[in-house]
A = this chain, B = another copy of it.
Amino acid sequence: MNRGFVLKGDICDSRAGGALNTVQDGYVVCVDGISQGVFHELPEAFTHLPLIDCSHHMIVPGLVDLHTHAPQYAYRALGMDLELLDWLNTYTFPEETRYGDLAYALAQYERIAQDLRRGPNTRCVLFGTVHLPATELLMELMEKTGLITLVGKVNMDRNAPDTLAEKDAQQSLSNTRLWLEHCKGRFTRTGPILSPRFIPSCSDQLMEGLAELQEQEGLPLQSHLSENPKECSWVGELCPASGSYTQAYARFGMIAPGRRTVMAHCVWCKPEEIQLLKESGTFVAHCPQSNANLASGIAPLRTYLREGLSVGLGSDIAGGAHSSIFRAMSDAIQFSKLRWRLTDDSLAPLTVAEAFYLGTRGGGAFFGKVGSFEEGYEMDALVIDDSDLTTPCVRSLEDRLSRIIYLSDERQILHKFVRGERLF
């Protein structure tokens, strides 16, 4: 890696609290993978660094996908006539079973790896399947993409076909420990994340074991929370003593201060659950398109932002069909408007600046200082040639950002940097 470099161009990022920061014809400086800040004039101290002149192009932080499923990439946009639980049984579980076959896994995982390498996301939190070899293969492929990813071997020991579910909690936990053992020292950009699928798939014993592992090893953990009304009712039946879906996780210690946990969806959380998410610092992965495709609903993002929850965006493939977090941004804005119109007009729709914040700095915080060019942040950057999106109506960098969010695709991404390394 070069010790450092300077990018020159039209710069746009989010600051603390979500404010949009724009600098036309400015400089962002990277040393040892870390941003030294954004400048109108290049400080003397950095003039010795090589300058990559991207004048007239837009420079934005890489995007962060807080929630997706790699083994579901092959059936994006299929079977979208079912709600969550039927969709899982009809499509997801049979398909995930096929990842016991490593050749099949390789062929399919190569597709998502290629997509992620070329697209605008630089960080990604992924579910794999229950299978150790396929999950390790996925990690190897993710490592090669150059993105920084967290990949999960799924845990599930109940309410799934025998061909897919692990035999019992003990087997699931020993598989998980073996997998963690295999991961040690193996990757520089890829790490393991504990991945109990969701409450209905995991026995109490399994959850207890995973919560213990999370604490002992200081590992991140991902799961699903309050996505679909029928799922929520089922969790209520499975855990009658918990009082809420969030509490059903919290009782094991997974949703608690000090834990690094991200929960996908959170569409139907009640006020006391929102408080619990807030107090515990749990991340919410908002997956708007998935929540529309599976007819789950629209999460109250305005509430989450007002309350100061940690929120980012997720593509949730294959509930969502599109891997780009730019699409998740425009979906989030559109659906927040429909929610405002149809459900609760006290919750103002999301703005472009807010959606951009969610898809960069908001989700980036799960990875540390990520998702901004503020001094000290890890240098993930996209250089976007938006010249073919420019018209006389595009008058500001914020206008250009809005056009990029709604209208760009991977063809416009000229360069992509992850923690200071240039992928292309």
Contact = CB atoms under 8 A, between A and B. Distances in A.
Contacts of A293: 334, 337
Interface stretch (A33-41, A172-180, A371-379, A399-407): A399-407
B338 A335 contact: yes
A393 interface: yes
A52 interface: no
A75 B292 contact: no
Interface string A292-306: 111111100000000
Contact of A95 (B294, B298, B393, B409): B393
A76 B296 contact: no
Interface string A357-397: 00000000000000000000000000000000001111000
A170 interface: no
Contacts of A95: 393
Interface in A92-125: 95, 98, 104, 108, 111
A32 to B, nearest CB: 37
A340 interface: yes
Interface string A325-369: 000001001110111111100000101100000000000000000
A85 to B, nearest CB: 15
Contacts of A111: 391
Contact of A75 (B289, B342, B393): B393
A281 B338 CA distance: 29
A80 interface: yes
Contacts of A399: 78
Nearest to A340: B295
A67 to B, nearest CB: 18
Give the number of times this chain occurs in the complex, counting copies.
2
Contacts of A391: 74-75, 108, 111
A403 B77 contact: yes
A296 B298 CA distance: 16
For chain A, the bracket of interface size reads 35 or more
B81 A351 contact: yes
A142 interface: no
A132 interface: no
A207 interface: no
B292 A334 contact: yes
Contacts of A78: 393-394, 399, 402-403
A28 interface: no
A150 interface: no
Contacts of A392: 74, 98, 104, 108
A321 interface: yes
Nearest to A72: B393
Nearest to A294: B337
Contacts of A322: 406-407
A111 B392 CA distance: 12
A132 to B, nearest CB: 22
A407 B77 contact: yes
Given A75-B391, A77-B405, 18 more contacts: A74-B392, A75-B394, A76-B403, A76-B407, A77-B402, A77-B406, A77-B407, A81-B349, A81-B351, A81-B352, A95-B393, A108-B391, A108-B392, A289-B334, A292-B338, A294-B337, A295-B338, A342-B343
Interface of A: 74-78, 80-81, 95, 98, 104, 108, 111, 289, 292-298, 321-322, 330, 333-335, 337-343, 349, 351-352, 391-394, 399, 402-403, 405-407, 409
